[in-house]
């Protein structure tokens, strides 16, 4: 009986510890609580992503950010709306366990079912380092992946390449994109720059608030 009680107590303590580890920090917030107009298509919550499966650590399709980044994103949304547009976010805070999932996926050479869509011109073993890192700025809580949507027709603006395409075509200034696509990328970039987000030249969709609230911390609480 004592042994059973000890096991139950250990399980309760472990559950309490796990819950504490996964608790949302006080200075993080779900962006939807600040502005319901920002559209969300959290790709890693489902299977429509380069892994082809739901990613570890995503238990809800939420955009979670440090409060400073969330407030700045709301200001970007306000500016976008003034131009007849709205933001659509693909990913925000990303748990470290999700990044670990990405690394395991890269190391599995047999799983190439998403190659044609996400990395048609690269061997899978070339993705680690250049495109997928063992640690991600997203895990610091102030980086967001997003695009713009035309409010009149509900369609995403043509950016010249899909989100998360591992190819130089996704570079903001890739010479192969046309003038409309370049204009759309620059529009997104300028809206984000105006509120303190720095672009990542290799991915037109990727922006990080500067300065970073947690420049040296990689969080692992889940998205729920």
Contact present, 209 and 216 (Cβ < 8 Å): no
The answer to the question of residue 13 being in a domain is no
The active-site residue out of 39, 41, 195, 203 is 203
Whether pTM exceeds 0.85 = yes
Number of domains in the chain: 1
The answer to the question of residue 64 being in a domain is yes
Active-site residue, 203 included = yes
Tens place of pLDDT per residue across the chain (224 aa): 555 455 444 444 334 334 446 799 999 999 999 999 999 999 999 999 999 999 999 999 999 999 999 999 999 999 999 999 999 999 999 999 999 999 999 999 999 999 999 999 999 999 998 899 999 999 999 999 999 999 999 999 999 999 999 999 999 999 999 999 999 999 999 999 999 999 999 999 999 999 999 999 999 999 99
Q: Residue 162 burial (CB < 10 Å; 0-12/13-18/19+)?
A: middle
The answer to the question of residue 92 being in a domain is yes
- Report how far apart, in Å, the C-alpha atoms of 72 and of each of 7, 65, 78, 107 are: 47, 10, 10, 36
The answer to the question of residue 219 being in a domain is no
User: Residue 15's pLDDT is what?
Assistant: 40
Provide φ and ψ at 50, rounded to 5°: -70, -20
The answer to the question of residue 215 being in a domain is no
Supply the CATH number for residue 109's domain.
3.30.1380.10
Residue 11: asked if its preceding bond is cis (omega within 30°), the reply is: no
Q: What CA–CA distance (Å, rounded) separates 223 from 95?
A: 7
Tokens representing 19? 């819950």
Looking at the chain, the number of H-run helices and the number of E-run strands are: 5, 8
Residue 206 marked ligand-binding: yes
To which residue do tokens 């987000």 refer? 197
What are the start-end ranges of the H helices in the chain? 2-22, 67-82, 96-107, 115-118, 179-193
The answer to the question of residue 42 being in a domain is yes
Q: How many CB atoms lie within 10 A of CB 113?
A: 11
Domain that holds residue 152: 26-209
Q: What CA–CA distance (Å, rounded) separates 163 from 41?
A: 11
The answer to the question of residue 12 being in a domain is no
């Amino acid at each position: 009986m004592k042994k059973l009680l000890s096991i139950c107590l250990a399980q309760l303590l472990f559950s309490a510890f796990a819950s504490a580890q996964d608790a949302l920090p006080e200075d993080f917030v779900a962006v939807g609580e600040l502005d319901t107009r920002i559209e969300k298509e959290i790709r890693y919550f489902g299977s429509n992503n380069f892994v082809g499966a739901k990613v570890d650590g995503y238990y809800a399709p939420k955009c979670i950010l440090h409060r400073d980044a969330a407030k700045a994103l709301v200001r970007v949304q306000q500016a976008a709306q003034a131009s007849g547009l709205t933001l659509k976010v693909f990913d925000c805070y990303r748990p470290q366990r999700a990044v670990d999932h990405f690394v395991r996926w890269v190391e599995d050479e047999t799983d190439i079912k998403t190659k044609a869509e996400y990395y048609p011109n690269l061997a899978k073993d070339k993705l680690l380092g250049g495109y997928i890192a063992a640690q991600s700025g997203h895990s610091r809580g102030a980086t967001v992946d997003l695009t713009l949507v035309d409010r009149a027709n509900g369609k995403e603006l043509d950016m010249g390449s899909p989100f998360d395409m591992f190819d130089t075509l996704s570079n903001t200034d890739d010479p192969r994109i046309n003038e409309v696509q370049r204009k759309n990328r620059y529009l997104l970039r300028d809206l984000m720059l105006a509120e303190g987000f720095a672009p990542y030249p290799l991915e037109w969709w990727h922006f990080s608030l500067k300065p970073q609230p947690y420049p040296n911390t990689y969080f692992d609480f889940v998205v729920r």
